[in-house]
A and B are shown apart, each in its own frame.
Chain A
Amino acid sequence: MPLSNDTLTFECETGNYHTFCPISCVAWLYQKIEDSFFLVVGTKTCGYFLQNALGVMIFAEPRYAMAELEEGDISAQLNDYQELKRLCNQIKKDRNPSVIVWIGTCTTEIIKMDLEGMAPRLENEIGIPIVVARANGLDYAFTQGEDTVLAAMAHRCPDRNSITCSAPTAEERLLSYLPSKEKQSKERKNSSNHPPLVLFGSLPSNVTSQLTLELKKQSIHVSGWLPSQRYAELPSLGEGVYVCGVNPFLSRTATTLMRRRKCKLIGAPFPIGPDGTKAWIEKICSVFDIQPIGLEEREKQVWNSLQDYLNLVRGKSVFFMGDNLLEISLARFLIRCGMIVYEIGIPYMDKRYQAAELALLEKTCQEMNVSPPRIVEKPDNYNQVQRMRELQPDLAITGMAHANPLEARGISTKWSVEFTFAQIHGFTNARDILELVTRPLRRNLSLEQLGWTGLVKRNKLNA
Chain B
Amino acid sequence: MKIAYWMYAGPAHIGTLRVASSFKNVHAIMHAPLGDDYFNVMRSMLERERDFTPVTASIVDRHVLARGSQEKVVENITRKDKEERPDLIVLTPTCTSSILQEDLQNFVDRAAMTSQSDVILADVNHYRVNELQAADRTLEQVVRYYLDKAHRQESLNQPITEVPSVNIIGMFTLGFHNQHDCRELKRLLQDLGIKVNEVIPEGGSVENLRNLPKAWLNLVPYREVGLMTALYLEKEFGMPYVATTPMGIVDTAKCIREIQHHINKWAPILLGKLVDYEEYIDQQTRFVSQAAWFSRSIDCQNLTGKKAVVFGDTTHAAAMTKILAREMGVYVVCAGTYCKHDAEWFKDQVQGFCDEVLITDDHTEVGDMIARVEPSAIFGSQMERHIGKRLDIPCGVISAPVHIQNFPLGYRPFLGYEGTNQIADLVYNSFTLGMEDHLLEIFGGHDTKEVITKALSTDSDLTWDTESQAELSKIPGFVRGKIKRNTEKFARQNGMSKITVEVMYAAKEALNA
Interface of A with B (CB < 8 Å)? 15-23, 41, 43-45, 47-49, 51-53, 55, 58-59, 62, 65-71, 73-74, 78, 83-84, 86-87, 90-91, 106-107, 109-111, 136-142, 205-206, 209-210, 213, 302, 304-306, 382, 385, 399-405, 408, 427-428, 431, 455-456, 460, 463
* A44-B7, A137-B34 given; A106·B44 CB < 8 A: no
Question: Which of the 9-residue segments B51-59, B199-207, B224-232, B338-346 touches chain A?
Answer: B51-59
- Chain B residue at minimal CB-CB distance from A84: B1
B50 touching A455, Cβ below 8 Å? yes
B474 touching A399, Cβ below 8 Å? no
Chain A contact surface mostly: helix
Contact with A along B58-73 (1 / 0, CB 8 A): 0111100100000000
Kindly list chain A residues whose C-beta atoms are within 8 Å of the C-beta of B272.
none
Kindly list chain A residues whose C-beta atoms are within 8 Å of the C-beta of B13.
45
14 contacts between A and B (CB under 8 A): A18-B37, A21-B33, A45-B95, A48-B10, A68-B3, A73-B1, A91-B3, A107-B96, A138-B65, A141-B34, A382-B56, A404-B48, A456-B51, A463-B51
Question: Which of the 9-residue segments B181-189, B298-306, B505-513 touches chain A?
Answer: B505-513
A463 touching B52, Cβ below 8 Å? yes
Kindly list chain A residues whose C-beta atoms are within 8 Å of the C-beta of B386.
59
B44 touching A137, Cβ below 8 Å? no
Kindly list chain A residues whose C-beta atoms are within 8 Å of the C-beta of B512.
305, 431
- Chain A residue at minimal CB-CB distance from B48: A404
Kindly list chain A residues whose C-beta atoms are within 8 Å of the C-beta of B50.
404-405, 408, 455-456
Kindly list chain A residues whose C-beta atoms are within 8 Å of the C-beta of B4.
47, 65-66, 68
A62 to B386, CA, bound (A): 14
Kindly list chain B residues whose C-beta atoms are within 8 Å of the C-beta of A17.
34
B100 at interface, CB cutoff 8 A: yes
Kindly list chain B residues whose C-beta atoms are within 8 Å of the C-beta of A22.
35
A463 touching B84, Cβ below 8 Å? yes
A53 touching B38, Cβ below 8 Å? yes
B36 touching A428, Cβ below 8 Å? no
B41 at interface, CB cutoff 8 A: yes
- Chain B residue at minimal CB-CB distance from A64: B5
A17 to B403, CA, bound (A): 25
- Chain B residue at minimal CB-CB distance from A80: B1
A71 touching B65, Cβ below 8 Å? no
- Chain B residue at minimal CB-CB distance from A40: B4
Kindly list chain A residues whose C-beta atoms are within 8 Å of the C-beta of B38.
20-21, 48-49, 52-53
A48 to B390, CA, bound (A): 23
* A21-B34, A110-B96, A137-B36 given; A83·B1 CB < 8 A: yes
Kindly list chain A residues whose C-beta atoms are within 8 Å of the C-beta of B10.
44, 48
B7 touching A401, Cβ below 8 Å? no
- Chain B residue at minimal CB-CB distance from A406: B52
* A44-B7, A48-B10, A305-B512 given; A138·B1 CB < 8 A: no
B96 touching A210, Cβ below 8 Å? no
Interface of B with A (CB < 8 Å)? 1-7, 10-11, 13-14, 32-38, 40-42, 44-45, 48-53, 56-57, 59-62, 65, 76, 83-84, 94-96, 99-100, 126-128, 130, 386, 389-390, 403, 471, 474-475, 501-502, 505, 508-509, 512-513
- Partner pick for A58 among B5, B53, B59, B475, CB 8 A cutoff: B5
B5 touching A65, Cβ below 8 Å? yes
- Partner pick for A110 among B57, B65, B509, CB 8 A cutoff: B65
The 3 A-B residue pairs with the shortest CB-CB distance in the complex, in nearest-first order: A21-B35, A137-B33, A305-B513
B11 touching A43, Cβ below 8 Å? yes
B51 touching A65, Cβ below 8 Å? no
Residue from the set A18, A304, A460 with the largest chain B CB neighbour count within 10 Å: A18
A206 touching B61, Cβ below 8 Å? no
Kindly list chain A residues whose C-beta atoms are within 8 Å of the C-beta of B100.
110
A401 touching B40, Cβ below 8 Å? yes
- Chain B residue at minimal CB-CB distance from A214: B505
A34 to B135, CA, bound (A): 40
For residue A278, give the distance in angstroms from its CB to the closest CB of chain B: 15
For residue B399, give the distance in angstroms from its CB to the closest CB of chain A: 16
Kindly list chain A residues whose C-beta atoms are within 8 Å of the C-beta of B502.
213
- Partner pick for B83 among A87, A90, A382, CB 8 A cutoff: A382
Kindly list chain B residues whose C-beta atoms are within 8 Å of the C-beta of A385.
52
B99 touching A213, Cβ below 8 Å? no
A91 to B51, CA, bound (A): 43
Residue from the set B13, B37, B390 with the largest chain A CB neighbour count within 10 Å: B37
For residue B1, give the distance in angstroms from its CB to the closest CB of chain A: 4
Kindly list chain A residues whose C-beta atoms are within 8 Å of the C-beta of B32.
137
A305 touching B509, Cβ below 8 Å? yes
- Chain A residue at minimal CB-CB distance from B75: A14
B471 touching A209, Cβ below 8 Å? yes
A107 to B48, CA, bound (A): 31
A16 touching B59, Cβ below 8 Å? yes
Kindly list chain B residues whose C-beta atoms are within 8 Å of the C-beta of A70.
1-2, 127
For residue B223, give the distance in angstroms from its CB to the closest CB of chain A: 22
Kindly list chain B residues whose C-beta atoms are within 8 Å of the C-beta of A210.
505
- Chain A residue at minimal CB-CB distance from B467: A209
Kindly list chain A residues whose C-beta atoms are within 8 Å of the C-beta of B37.
18, 401
* A21-B36, A402-B52 given; A66·B99 CB < 8 A: no
- Partner pick for A20 among B7, B11, B35, B505, CB 8 A cutoff: B35
A51 to B363, CA, bound (A): 13
Other 6 A-B pairs with CB < 8 A, given A20-B38, A106-B33, A305-B509: A16-B59, A58-B6, A65-B4, A110-B99, A209-B471, A431-B512
A287 to B396, CA, bound (A): 61
For residue A208, give the distance in angstroms from its CB to the closest CB of chain B: 11
Kindly list chain A residues whose C-beta atoms are within 8 Å of the C-beta of B11.
43-45, 48
Kindly list chain A residues whose C-beta atoms are within 8 Å of the C-beta of B403.
55
- Partner pick for A15 among B34, B42, B65, B127, CB 8 A cutoff: B34
For residue A396, give the distance in angstroms from its CB to the closest CB of chain B: 13
B14 touching A48, Cβ below 8 Å? yes
- Chain B residue at minimal CB-CB distance from A137: B33
B3 touching A428, Cβ below 8 Å? no
- Chain B residue at minimal CB-CB distance from A301: B509
B6 touching A138, Cβ below 8 Å? no
* A107-B96, A110-B99 given; A66·B501 CB < 8 A: no
B508 touching A428, Cβ below 8 Å? yes
A22 to B36, CA, bound (A): 11
Kindly list chain B residues whose C-beta atoms are within 8 Å of the C-beta of A109.
65
A62 to B34, CA, bound (A): 25
A87 to B3, CA, bound (A): 7
For residue B387, give the distance in angstroms from its CB to the closest CB of chain A: 9
A134 to B32, CA, bound (A): 17
For residue B425, give the distance in angstroms from its CB to the closest CB of chain A: 25
- Chain B residue at minimal CB-CB distance from A21: B35
Kindly list chain B residues whose C-beta atoms are within 8 Å of the C-beta of A55.
403
A139 touching B62, Cβ below 8 Å? yes
Kindly list chain B residues whose C-beta atoms are within 8 Å of the C-beta of A19.
34-35
Kindly list chain A residues whose C-beta atoms are within 8 Å of the C-beta of B6.
47, 51, 58
A302 touching B61, Cβ below 8 Å? no
- Chain B residue at minimal CB-CB distance from A204: B474
* A51-B6, A106-B60, A428-B505 given; A71·B33 CB < 8 A: no
Kindly list chain A residues whose C-beta atoms are within 8 Å of the C-beta of B2.
67-68, 70
- Chain B residue at minimal CB-CB distance from A69: B1
A111 to B32, CA, bound (A): 15
Residue from the set A55, A109, A137, A142 with the largest chain B CB neighbour count within 10 Å: A137
- Partner pick for A142 among B1, B35, B126, CB 8 A cutoff: B35
Kindly list chain B residues whose C-beta atoms are within 8 Å of the C-beta of A20.
35, 38
For residue A105, give the distance in angstroms from its CB to the closest CB of chain B: 9
- Chain B residue at minimal CB-CB distance from A87: B3
A330 to B502, CA, bound (A): 26
Kindly list chain A residues whose C-beta atoms are within 8 Å of the C-beta of B33.
21, 106, 136-138
A400 touching B44, Cβ below 8 Å? yes
- Chain A residue at minimal CB-CB distance from B44: A404
For residue A423, give the distance in angstroms from its CB to the closest CB of chain B: 11
Kindly list chain A residues whose C-beta atoms are within 8 Å of the C-beta of B41.
18, 52-53, 399-401
* A43-B11, A401-B37 given; A66·B51 CB < 8 A: no
- Chain B residue at minimal CB-CB distance from A51: B6
